[in-house]
Amino acid sequence: MVRLRLLRKGSKKSPFYRVVAANSSSPRDGRFIEILGHYNPTKNPEIIELKEDRVQYWLGVGAQPSDTVRSLFRKEGILKQIHEAARGDAPEAPAEEASEA
């Protein structure tokens, strides 16, 4: 099973994480399939950069995010987008105002 999880990088007491798609049996900092973004919790404010199209692809094919990665997706609004798309509640374009001609 493929999991979306964090891979730790950085030096001692200065962590930096990559968000990766990896086999669930791989070690935390071991082999991975694809890098989906990165997360730096030491900066103020925290830096979260994700490739949203690739995240949506992996979630679409059944990859399971870890609890921490799920909370990052929630902060970025990715889970809400997927949920709305599945329900068909995609945000509509604003209606054009009637021209007064």
Q: What contacts 43, CB < 8 A, 6 or more positions away?
A: none
CA pair distance 42, 45, nearest whole angstrom = 8
95 or 3, greater pLDDT: 3
- Three-state SS for 36? strand
pLDDT in tens, 34-56: 999 999 999 888 899 999 899 99
User: Residue 17 has what pLDDT?
Assistant: 94
Please, what are the domains in the chain?
2-87 (3.30.1320.10)
pLDDT higher than 80, residue 16? yes
pLDDT in tens, 74-87: 888 888 877 777 77
